[in-house]
Structures are given as structure tokens and as C-alpha cells.
Structure 1
Amino acid sequence: MATESIYNLIPQPVPPPVKEALYRSKHPGDKPTTFSTFGLTGTSKPGYVNVAGAEEATKGGQHEYKKPFATMGKDGNAVPPTEVLKKKTGGGGGAYAAAMGLSDQTGAFLYSDRLKPALPSKEELKQVLKASVAVKKAEPKNFVTSNAVENILAVPKREPEPINWFQKPHFGTTPPYLVKIKQEIADEYEYIRSMQQQDDSGVPPGMKQLPEEERQALVDALKSKWQDVNKAYQGSCVLSLKSLDTIGKVKRKEMYEAQLAQIEKDIEKLSRKVILVADD
């Protein structure tokens, strides 16, 4: 190729990048952002500052929007690194109190005011047990006297009053619950009797048996209708599959077949011996 050359293999000197001058903004660095709400709490006119790039603080209140000690505290409150708190030298008041000599406590910190009292030893428990046994032996209990005192001071028991069964409200009559049970049994028997009567007649309530003349007339009418539909179906051009070249012919074939199937189903239902219809 015309652009190929052996001199292209020689590394070419890379020019040093040109460093642009540091950008200096024309706005002061401590100016808040546009519509800033930082540092406005506690002022006489809270709201927002730096509207439309204003360089000066918004005027209108009696106090300035500045809190010099709100974040880092006052000047000179930091502890020098050489006076950092060391192990077992705390005075209980924190690192600042120990470094500034505000606490008199030295050495390791102990929870002397939070410790629970020590448990009694075995010897102390033995002495307490011996003392209690000696007290019991010195004052034995007189069970006869104590039982007599308890019986004298006890409240006498009241015997239940006798029940006079002759003064009961339903004395000498049939109890109401037996009357209710007898009535429920009678109602069940009546319901069973009515169901048996319906089964004997064979016709449920609200129905009647279709007369034989009407049944035969309906069957003859359905047969004649089946012949008419079958004749129209046989005379149409939808019998063979080759002739079904349009959607209309397919739908016409399905319509004839559905009508014939429905008529055959109705004839089968009317061919039963007993047919029940609604009693109008």
C-alpha cells in the first residue's frame, strides 16, 4: 500500500500535554447555593438566601444569617495530641476532663457503686439454720389449743334450705320440654306421611302427566319436521366436502346438522312412557 513505510516503525516523540490554567470562579467560595435554606434557623427572618445570584446576605431582619459555633465549636477547645488520654489514667469525666485536670480520680475505673452485695458463706448459712431450729425447739406448738381456737373463731356453716317440690310451678302437669319434643315428633311424622303420599301418586306437587294423545301428536310433528329439514339438507349443495369452498356453505351445513340432532334428541325425550309437565 502507498501509506506503508518502514519509517513508521520508528517511535515518534510524544509532545508533553499542555496544562490549562486553574479555573478561578468570580464568586466567593463561602457563598451559599441558589435559594439555599442552610443556616437560617433561629433568625428573625427565616426563608432562603442567594436569590438571583445575590452576593450579599438578604437584609430585612435584626440578626445575621451566621452561626460561628454551630458545627465545630469555639476556637481552642481541641486537646493537643501530646495530652491524649492513656490507659488507666482516666478520671471518670472523659478525655477532656482528664487532660485539663478537672478530675481528681486516678488509676483504673471501678464500678464500686454498682456491685451487688456478696453472697453469704456456708458458715453463715449454718449459723442461721441453727438459730432457726433453736427457736422452733424453744416454743413448741400446742395443736390442741390451736385447733380449739380455730374452731371457736370459725364461721358456722349454713345448711341449705329444704326444697318443697309440691310448690313447683309445673307440679302435676306435663313438663314444657316434653310437650315441645312431642310436637316435633308429630311434625316429623306428618312430613314423612306427606312424602309417602306423593311417592304413591308418582306426581310431585305442581306437575301433571302429559296425556298420551298430546305426546303422540308432538312426536308426529317432530318427525315431520325432521323429514322437512332432512329433505332441505339433502337437496342442498353442502353434502360433499369438495363443495364446501365458502364460509357460507360450511355454516349452512353446520346449521342443518344441528337442527337434525336437536329434533332427534326431542323425539327421544318424548318417547318415554311417563312425561311430566308444569301444571298451569
Structure 2
Amino acid sequence: MQQESIYNLIPKEYVPPPKEPMYRSAYPNGLVPTASTFNNHTTSRPQVNNINGDFQLAKGPHTHKGQSNSLGKPKGSYKPDATMFRMKNTGTMGSNQLPEIQQFKYPQSCKAAVPKKDEKPIHGLKSNKNFIVTNAVENILSAPKQITEEKEWTQKKDYGKVPDYLTKIQSSINNEYEIIRNMHLSEAEDRDKQKYLMTSEEVEHLKLGLKKKWESVNKEYQSITHIRMIDTVGLKRKKEQCEKELALLEKDIEKLNKNYVFIDTQK
């Protein structure tokens, strides 16, 4: 533990910490990441480098080390078949022979034919229907329109009265207010029952005890304050504790000086 001294106020000279050695990786700095596809040397087949995580890279853009292969047949098991080779006109483009020539046929679903130049449309069609008589008969046989009279809202039975739903809402609100008021009254009565009034003899006896306690704490406090220099932590804490106790005792004595003193039994 560092002791208090005036020399501690002197700023100390800053000594920089020693530098650690520069970090050097244990792996080669030119190593390509595992299964890297970078550096495709202008080819359609991507290059795969460092497939096994080795330090030595494979040579060439299309090769890699196959020591840990798990797919395909083992090396040397492929035997080429001399009869299986690409023959003429068997590629993906099909044969070079053209199909047979066939006569062109229109599809079945087509639009109507255009009228010929010698066909004439029919004009001047006439009808023997008498529209005047027909209109008159329809009006005679039709039922007359019913005239709907406008409602007179001022003639309603409940006009000017408070709606029923508003009276129901008001009654429910009043009931809630009544329940809350009764609950507050019951809580206040319970709180009043928990308190009782102290007699004058009890108050005097309690004040006498508090004064004796105050005198003993004050005596201890005066003995500390007469010390010329309070330079220890224990004396400082003892002085602060005495000040707090004296303040609390004075506050309690001031409360007991009132005309009526009640005690809450729940606390």
C-alpha cells in the first residue's frame, strides 16, 4: 500500500513500454487460401489451388494435388473403349440432312373471310313495329310509382330525450365512482384503526429518554470536536456518525413537542 507523502505530487517521468517483436506468421506469405479460385489464367475452367491446405502449391492452372480425393474412381482404373468415339452427325446439333419439303397449310383457327368486291351489303331494312302504340301500352299496364313521404324526425316519440345508451353509460360510470369512493373510505377507516393517540405521560417518558440519548451523544461529539487535529479516518467517521444521530434525535424531539402524537402500529 502506498503511503501518503508530499513527494507523490511530483509528476513522474513517462517511461514508454518496450516494443514487442513484430508478428511473423508461421505459414508462407505467398500461400493461396484453401480451395482458392483466384488467378484463372484466361481459361474457362477455374483454377483450384491449395485444395488440401498444403504449403506447396500445384503446378499449372488446371492441376491440383489429388492425394486426398474421395470422389470418382481411383487413379489408373479408367480404361478407354476404342469403339466409343464421336461419330459423324451424332453431335448435339443433330444431322446435317434437311427435312422433306411439304406444302404450306393454314391453321384451322382463322378470322372470317373478307367480303368480295362484287358483294353488296343489305341497306334500307324496315320494321312493321309501331313504337308509339307499344310505348303507350307499356305505360298503361305499368304500376304507378309510389310517392314516399319524407319522415318528420321532430315527431318521433323520443325526440329531444337522452338516448338509452347514454343513460346506461352514465349509470355504469356512477356505479364505478361509488365503488371507488367506498373503497377509499374503507381504506381510510382501516388506517385510522391502525393509529392510536399517545397519552401525555407516554410522550413525556419518551422525550426524557430521547434527551438522555442526545446528551450522551453530544458529550461524545464534544470530546471529538475539542481535538486539535482530526487526522485519522476513525475519528472522522465517528464525528460524522455523531452529527447524524444528533440531527435525528432533534427531529424526533421536535415531533414529540406537538399537541397530539399518533403511533402507527403497522410500521
Range into which the TM-score falls when normalised by the shorter chain: 0.3 to 0.5
Q: TM-score, normalised by structure 1?
A: 0.36
Q: Would you tell me which structure has more helix in proportion to its own residues?
A: 1
Q: TM-score, normalised by structure 2?
A: 0.37
